Amino acid sequence: MSRSTTTLSVRQVRHIHGEISVPGDKSLSHRAVLFAALAEGTTSITGFLPGEDCLCTMRALQAMGCMIEVISETELRVHGTGGKLQPPLEPIECGNSGTAMRLIAGVLAAQPFKSRLIGDASLSSRPMKRIVDPLRQMGARIEGRGDKHTAPLEIEGGPLTGIDYTLPVASAQLKSCILLAGLFAQGTTSVTEPTATRDHTERLLAHFHVPPVISPTPDGKGRIIRVRGGSRLHAHDFHVPGDFSSAAFWITAAAALPGASLTLTNLGMNKTRTGLLSVLSKMGAHLHETITDSAAEQVGILHVNGRKLRGIRIEGEMIANVIDELPVIAVAGAVAEGKTEIRDARELRVKETDRIEAMAHNLRAFGVEVEEHEDGMTVHGGSPLKGARVNSRGDHRIAMACAILGLFARGETVIEDTACIATSYPTFQDDLPRIVQFYEGGLASLLSGRR
């Protein structure tokens, strides 16, 4: 089935009820397999996300000589290379994944061979200059296309020297790229992030026995992370918890539907990822969390009870923590009473698609009044929504956010181009009818497939 011919159809929701555990975290799955491949020894990974994005990282490592036993879709046994990869015979396919391309580039900058990183049309239009600049400062030979250094990236790896680098943009992918290169560089590398971004790389470095030194920035808002070049990672089994960003779709739907009651288990609750919970609480949501594990990553159970939400303003330092949830926060804004304003979120324009433009366009199709800003949008919530036919633009989170909005609209909603959902949440369409009951024909009203 080609990407453009898959559709998902939903109707208005009657009730949301039950318990769900979403597939493994995308960010952690990339990092777990990458760190295990670079480590000395054998690491078992459970809960791995078999989404297209993480499979790109896994296949890239296999293509560079790392032996990975696929025990099941979600369980891998990775035989570490001790950091010595083999030259790939073909270009490395990163598909739709910015994380795969940016993190792997950090590693390849230091490997003594030439490589080429390629991606799909969306990834090939995303800015890579942000990684090219610091890697070149470290001594890497890396080249993209044009001023923005877009993919394909050509890398001629070699010896690197540690740098002190302040991130010009709040990006965990950029931070992780530099820290990975720093592991193989001479001397110490420090990355200063003025605003805290997701800290999975730091946590997994510690888990694989190379704890970075972390201190707060003088204003207390950001962090300085230091790694020592030549540090050796050691194998350590890892369980990937459920992806909070995938759960976000159900959390938002349940929080905004009066009477809904939903429990999410085995959920990744890393504090640099769960900003959606503060956003929804401020909107009036009723949430209750219990932490069940806090070894490498916080994991827990979340109970959500639905009620009518009210609009709020989201901006500044809050943005990095909710960066992947902003499309579904816009949906919450459309369903809530009053105005929801999202600002300081320019980064959304360079995600898998321009998510500000895509969400503003799609929300309007449902009858929502939206003002688009250069760095966000204002959503006027509370008016009746009508089912719509919208397009995901090949972006998984736009597709799923629109499916959630369709639950609150009268009539049928059809989302076109939904194969992209498999990049982060391959079982989204199976999970939907498990917890959602529809008006008009119950579960049978859920259709997906060719149209």
> Where does this chain bind ligand S3P (CB under 6 A)?
27, 98-99, 171-173, 176, 197-198, 323-324, 347
Nearer to ligand S3P (CB atom), residue 301 or residue 350: 350
Q: What minimum distance in Å lies between the beta carbon of 57 and ligand S3P?
A: 10
Nearest to 363 by CA among 349, 379, 375: 379
Nearer to ligand S3P (CB atom), residue 98 or residue 268: 98
Q: Extract the runs of DSSP E, i.e. beta strands, from 21-135.
A: 42-46, 67-72, 75-79, 92-93, 114-118
Q: What minimum distance in Å lies between the beta carbon of 1 and ligand S3P?
A: 25
The 10 Å Cβ neighbour count of residue 187 is: 12
Q: What minimum distance in Å lies between the beta carbon of 323 and ligand S3P?
A: 5
Nearer to ligand S3P (CB atom), residue 78 or residue 319: 319
Nearer to ligand S3P (CB atom), residue 275 or residue 306: 275
Residue number of the CB atom closest to ligand S3P: 27
The 10 Å Cβ neighbour count of residue 73 is: 12
Q: What are phi and psi of 348, to 5 degrees?
A: -60, -25
Structure tokens at 111: 């490997």
Q: What minimum distance in Å lies between the beta carbon of 24 and ligand S3P?
A: 13
Rounded to whole angstroms, the Cα distance separating 51 from 7 reads 18
The 10 Å Cβ neighbour count of residue 86 is: 12
The residues annotated with a catalytic role in the active site are: 324
Helices marked H in 197-317: 200-207, 244-256, 275-282
Nearer to ligand S3P (CB atom), residue 86 or residue 166: 166
Strand 436-438: give its sheet, edge to edge. Answer: 286-293, 299-305, 261-268, 13-20, 436-438
Q: What minimum distance in Å lies between the beta carbon of 86 and ligand S3P?
A: 25
Nearer to ligand S3P (CB atom), residue 321 or residue 340: 321
The 10 Å Cβ neighbour count of residue 10 is: 27
With tokens 């009044």, the residue in question is 369
3-state helix, strand and coil shares in percent for the chain, rounded to the nearest 5? 35, 30, 35
Q: What minimum distance in Å lies between the beta carbon of 146 and ligand S3P?
A: 19
Q: What minimum distance in Å lies between the beta carbon of 226 and ligand S3P?
A: 19
Q: How many CA atoms lie within 13 A of 332 on its CB side?
A: 35
Rounded to whole angstroms, the Cα distance separating 384 from 368 reads 8
Q: Which residues pair with 339 in a beta bridge?
A: 380
Q: H/E/C letters for each residue in 181-236?
A: HHHCCECEEEEEECCCCCCHHHHHHHHCCCCCEEEECCCCCCEEEEEECCCCCECC
Q: What are phi and psi of 295, to 5 degrees?
A: -70, -95
Nearer to ligand S3P (CB atom), residue 27 or residue 115: 27
How far CA 36 is from CA of 83, 293, 358, in Å, comes to 10, 21, 37
